[in-house]
Amino acid sequence: MTALAPIPKDAAAIILVRPETDPANPEVFWVKRSTKLAFLGGFYAFPGGQRETSDADTRVENGADQEQAAMISCAARELFEETGVLLARGSQTLTIGQRASLLDDLESKRMTWPELLNLYGLHLDANDFTFAGRWVTPPFAPRRFDTWFFLVTCPAKQSPKITEDSELESGEWIRARAAYAKWERSEIIVVPPVLHLLKALAGGLSDDLVERFLSVPEARRVPTRRIEFHPHYICFPVRTPTKPPATHTNSYLIHTSSEVLVLDPGSPYEDEQNALANCIDDLIAAGKTVREIVLTHVHPDHVAGVNALNDHLEEKQGARVPVAAHAATAESLRNQVRIDRFIADDEVLVLGGEPAIKLRALHTPGHARGHLCFFDERTGALISGDNIVGFGSVLIDPPEGNMREYLASLERMRSLPNLSVLFGGHGPAIANPYEKIDEYISHRLQREELILTAVREGASTPKEIVARVYTDVSPKAHATAERAVLAHLEKLEADGLVARTSDGTYQAHGIK
């Protein structure tokens, strides 16, 4: 059942520094990814993208080796495509019109990037690109990249402007310190390398800047474990035997100056339990106390590490910490995990210390009967558990799963004011929460419509319906799809649109 994490693809990005900027607090060009994007939509980032085959053919002077040269080509090409800034030597003599037609030729793929540079007598020079680290996306994401970052000063007579059909919503010059402060105020979502780079840049363009860029092992391809999409929320993915294609479950450590809440320590594997415990120990070493372990729902990939963590905390803090969950979750876990406290719908968990973090519990059944989400009204962050995930799909498997309740839970999540981010049980944070919830709702309703049509056309069992409706799903996944169809049929039955006959088959009922 265990899936393999996606293989990282080569990518490159450019930290463009404004010419003549104040070296003590430099201005850099950052972009916002379109909220329509399925992957990292709404995140702030540096311009960049994936390597293309032709990047290996680009003429790069003074490159250390072929690989570095190709990645410089990739970075420069992506920057040009996304912002129109051309970093090639010799480009200062091009007219604006020539640059525009070069861009047009590149985007329409009339010629490749190396061919175009040759045609205009241009080349890249590695001395213009300062290596700023190489980061690998951790194995919890649906797409992974091995990204080279380069620091480059923008050529004096050019100014970046987001090109029309790029995947970017906007772009602007911003002081590194102001950008970092936006993250500190939970106003933006960034991936770990961008956060690290902004923090380093906020320290100024000093002689030791590159050293500071490279000062963490993550800048040398060690995948990040502790991910801070928002401050005070550490996302710590742990490897679990979860539902493929996901390979990890997100544990969250929500912390103030004095307290830590641990959410979903779900790994049954000792090495992963130790990694999480080490991260918690760092918070304890900083003077914080673990106050409670909280569970979003009953599934093994969310609870399997609770007892091991409590054994560890007993040793470390001298006492076990209470475990809290919804009463329905507690009932199902009776012989596996002791639940010390029940969390009811609408209850507010208040953490001591700074900042004042208050989490409103929302009983949101559907994926599981006792499923809880937690809403931070201060920042608009919603811990969405397995109701919305950043990787894979959500299975509604009766009787624990209930499609009618699930859709009602999604509607309830949709109605929350000022949602800024969803922290799901799997995969990266979701920075376009309303778009994502809408997508989930409409996906389910479309499926329901197809299933109802299939029943009206005579399909009467989940197996027959899957054969008609799930034509995009491999036969291996048919057993799972039948569970999902059953959930839809139960909803349609409750809605009065289909009826279950005495032999357990389904028929259409009346006209909608």
Q: What residue ranges bind Zn ion (CB under 5 A)?
A: 299, 386
Residue of 433, 412, 413, 411 lying closest to 422 (CA atoms): 433
* Angle subtended at Cα 243 by Cα 136 and Cα 39, rounded to the nearest 5 degrees: 45
Give 158 or 329: the residue with its C-beta nearer to Zn ion. Answer: 329
Evaluate whether 81 touches 39 at the Cβ level (below 8 Å). no
Q: Which is nearer to Zn ion, 16 or 295 (CB)?
A: 295
Copy the structure tokens of residue 243.
Answer: 């539902």
Tell the smallest beta-carbon distance from residue 297 to Zn ion (Å).
6
Tokens for 508, please give them. 């259409």
Specify the 3-state DSSP secondary structure of 451.
Answer: helix
> H-helix or E-strand containing 32?
strand 27-33
What's at 357, amino acid-wise?
I
Q: What are 131's two structure tokens?
A: 């290596």
Q: What angle do CA 462, 385, 330 make, to 5 degrees?
A: 85
The beta-carbon contacts of 177-181 under 8 Å, at least 24 apart in sequence, are 177/25, 177/202, 179/28, 179/30, 179/44
Q: Which helix (H) or strand (E) holds 233?
A: strand 233-239
Instruction: Tell me which residue of 376, 394, 372, 401 sits closest to 384, measured CA to CA.
Output: 372
Q: Please say which residue, 196 or 299, places its beta carbon nearer to Zn ion.
A: 299
Helix orientation angle between 478-494 and 433-456, rounded to the nearest 10 degrees:
80
Cβ contacts of 157 within 8 Å, gap of 6 or more: 92
Closer by beta carbon to Zn ion, 299 or else 488: 299
Rounded to a whole number of angstroms, the minimum distance from the CB of residue 304 to Zn ion is 12
Task: Give the residue with the Cβ less far from Zn ion, 82 or 386.
Answer: 386
CB of 366 to Zn ion, least distance (A): 11
Q: Which is nearer to Zn ion, 128 or 386 (CB)?
A: 386
What sign for the dihedral angle of Cα 153, 159, 160, 163? negative
And the tokens for 58? 């680009």
Q: Contact at 8 Å (CB) between 272 and 238?
A: yes
Q: Among 262, 344, 361, which Cα is nearest to 307's?
A: 262
Cβ proximity to Zn ion, 58 vs 250, nearer residue: 250
Q: Which is nearer to Zn ion, 13 or 306 (CB)?
A: 306
Quick one: 124 or 343, whose CB is closer to Zn ion?
Answer: 343
Task: Please give the Cα distance from 275 to 272 (Å, whole number).
Answer: 5
Non-local (6+) Cβ contacts of 280 within 8 A are 253, 260, 262, 290, 309, 312, 313
Task: Closer to Zn ion by CB, 259 or 386: give it.
Answer: 386
